[in-house]
Amino acid sequence: MGKVALEGMEFYAYHGFYEEEQIIGNNYVIDVFIKTNFGAAAEEDDLYKTINYETVYLICQREMKVKTKLLEAIGMRIMQGLKHQFQNIHEATIKIKKENPMPGVKLDS
């Protein structure tokens, strides 16, 4: 068992509860951590038996293009996309960071 991580994926997107957020947009950072058994992939040196980073990125990119009010909804769609694409996921964690979560307010990480 091991963990595959793709951290620091940056997107500019138009999500948020407030209309202003969906017009102005915001910077987002997504981290994805996936627990999987990659023994067969390692033994056979076979990309198709593990989690492909490019596919993980493309799933996140696709979902970030869909205007959404809640980050939870984006996270759910990303998780569904990952589970649909990769049947060998034992556990996954998605972290979505919105750089300026409230219009006009700058917060530290």
Q: Convert the pLDDT of each residue in 28-60 to its tens digit.
A: 999 999 999 989 999 999 999 999 999 999 999
- The per-residue pLDDT for 15 is 96
pLDDT band per the 50, 70, 90 thresholds, residue 109: low
- The per-residue pLDDT for 108 is 67
- Collapsing DSSP states into helix, strand and coil, what is residue 96? strand
Q: Which two tokens stand for residue 16?
A: 């948020």
Q: Convert the pLDDT of each residue in 5-23 to its tens digit.
A: 999 999 999 999 999 899 9
Query: What's the average model confidence in pLDDT over 73-79?
Result: 98
Q: Is 35 a catalytic residue?
A: no
The catalytic position among 3, 35, 97, 98 is: 97
Report how far residue 30's alpha carbon sits from residue 12's, in angstroms, rounded to the nearest whole number: 11
Check: CB of residue 68 under 8 Å from CB of residue 76.
no
Q: What is the mean pLDDT of the chain?
A: 93
Q: What is the share, in percent, of the chain residues with pLDDT greater than 90?
A: 80
Give, as one character, the DSSP assignment of residue 102: B
